[in-house]
Chain A
Amino acid sequence: DAGVTQSPTHLIKTRGQHVTLRCSPISGHKSVSWYQQVLGQGPQFIFQYYEKEERGRGNFPDRFSARQFPNYSSELNVNALLLGDSALYLCASSLEAGLYNYGYTFGSGTRLTVV
């Protein structure tokens, strides 16, 4: 069975540019969460989507946006890139978004470098 797939795996962008990262959850999973992991730190929550609706948003500027499609895949968009946006972006999928759910599965991430 395919796990959580993210694309691209690596990306280099210039300051001020825009980037779109993509995530396909495990088949049957309806919830997708996005996390940013800066080198040497733990992942920081950005967004969670369930059934195409935003269920949670972390402490990130409005330059960050996301959406979920009818097939439950998701995109994370970042506008006006800054050097500080350089990080590993992780997608986590889960069957549902319920408060008692603990079945989060992470993808391998997209390594974004902003120069």
Chain B
Amino acid sequence: GQNIDQPTEMTATEGAIVQINCTYQTSGFNGLFWYQQHAGEAPTFLSYNVLDGLEEKGRFSSFLSRSKGYSYLLLKELQMKDSASYLCAVRAFNDYKLSFGAGTTVTVRA
């Protein structure tokens, strides 16, 4: 199975930058996903990394290092609406499911 670790909580100020780290152990790697989930709502897709490097999408960027089993999600120019839980998920090779971490709750303060 997969072992996925991410911090439980992070707090940052509006306009600042926050980096959410995710480490994973998996027998055969086939992609890492980041989802945003507001309380009581569906997880929404943010990014997908399968090769090493940085993927940038507006204010959000995601980085992957397969050799280190490490990813981070970078949130820039934080807005109040970015307060949410951020889920890191890994898919193993020859597997159809996503294995999720417990999520990181980000609180943005004025």
A contact set with B: CB distance below 8 Å: 4, 33, 35, 40-45, 48, 55-56, 58, 90, 97, 99-100, 102-109, 111
Given A104-B98, A106-B35, 16 other A-B residues pairs in contact with their CB atoms under 8 A: A33-B97, A35-B100, A42-B89, A42-B100, A42-B102, A43-B43, A43-B87, A43-B98, A45-B97, A58-B97, A97-B96, A99-B93, A99-B94, A99-B96, A106-B42, A108-B41
Interface residues of B in 12-62 (CB under 8 A from A): 30-31, 33, 35, 40-45, 48
Interface residues of B in 51-98 (CB under 8 A from A): 87, 89, 93-98
Secondary structure of the A contact surface, majority rule: loop
B contact set with A: CB distance below 8 Å: 4, 30-31, 33, 35, 40-45, 48, 87, 89, 93-103
Tell me the bound Cα distance from A62 to B35 in angstroms: 29
Tell me the bound Cα distance from A107 to B41 in angstroms: 8
Tell me the bound Cα distance from A4 to B43 in angstroms: 12
Q: How far is the CB of A24 from chain B (nearest CB, A)?
A: 14
Residues of B within 8 A of A43 (CB): 43, 87, 98, 100
Residues of B within 8 A of A109 (CB): 42
